[in-house]
Structure 1
Amino acid sequence: MSETSLYPPLKRFLESLGYAVKGEVSGCDIVALADGDPPVVIVCEMKLQFNLELLLQGVDRAVACDEVWLAARLSSNGRGREDDPRFRALCRRLGFGLLGVRGENVELLLSPAAPPPRRDPKRRSRLIEEHRRRRGDPTVGGGSRQPIMTAYRQEALACAEALSEGPRRPRDLKPTAPNAQKILHRNVYGWFNRAERGLYELTSAGREALQRWPAP
């Protein structure tokens, strides 16, 4: 199957919306015009599947038209880019429409008039909080195979460093670890053990952690 097989159903679809449609106009796969003075200009770029090249073509065409539509065959297994929420969100931010073709049928996946995704204030707040709580810049960007030195891990290591000198109470650790009570109680990494009521000690896993990571 070639890209040209997508043209007939896309042409019929756009014509049903009232546009005059022609193929291969000045390097564009499809150009559709709506009545007006000046006319509304739509450019539709086609690929056999949604990919980066199709997206880049849309970015290039956007300066010459009023609307950009990206069209491709719909994947048979539901794992194509058209089903990736990140791809759709990017197209929404760019103001691109998406059309999916299956046989002779065309499905409107995303209108170019769709509002851009809203910011997530909770995720934004988490980013700010984590950035501010981290001491220094302990993790090189781009690495994913090694445990990330988060602010939580840094504070847990501070607790471990203090307990390496002997059992302590959570309140004794607050000067260097304000969240010591929660960290010791949750014991996410298995570094701590409650020696007795209100008193915690370091486990062998905690001592190994101190050898792996220098104390913050």
Structure 2
Amino acid sequence: MTGLHVRSLLVTGANRGIGLGLVRHFLAMTNPPKWVFATCRDPKGERAQKLQNLASKHPNLVIITLEVSDPASIKAAAARVGEQLGGSGLNLLINNAGVVNLNTLDNETLEDMTQVYTTNTVGPLLMGQAFLPLLKKAAQGSPGSVLSCSKAAIVNMSSIGGSIQELYLWDQANVVSYRCSKVALNMLTKCQSQGYREHGILCVALHPGWVQTDMGSAAGHTHRAGGR
């Protein structure tokens, strides 16, 4: 993230794993953002304790309740962020929140498939829609025409698990619903990049590599697996 300069950013699923790591990184920057919005389902719960501890030390960290599968929750979060930002926009939206289940191809269910797809794919779609006005405002306030994360951007956290060509670690973990949701997320990102380019907003999908988190270890492998 060398050379990244943002006034404000938001990370979903920020109470643990990659999301929490990103929040810590931004707060530790030499020139940290004026506002770091960290969202999670239950900010006051035990799983958000590490995030709460950070907020007690960093006045520029704002924790916001957000359930990415709930349109009403997303709209409320966007309103809360807009209120905090005043007349300025949001530079960077990182759609990190995600879920996985360990179902095989034979026992995948409608309920599980729908739940994973709603969180991993529909959530980032609705987040992009709800925060578009704030992203556009940030883009309009940044000089130049070059798209960048420092200007205005949506970063969707994808995975090599969404690669149709690789079908990575299929024998170890089918995780069909997760794979399908990430394939769809990749296409969503492409659609967003086309639709939001005219507003000066960069849209990219990021594969972070395998990370030792609760989700990263869900399939039972602790070696470098290359998937989120």
TM bucket, shorter chain? 0.3 to 0.5
Higher relative contact order, chain-length normalized (CA < 8 Å, sep 6+) = 2
Of the two, which has the highest radius of gyration? 1
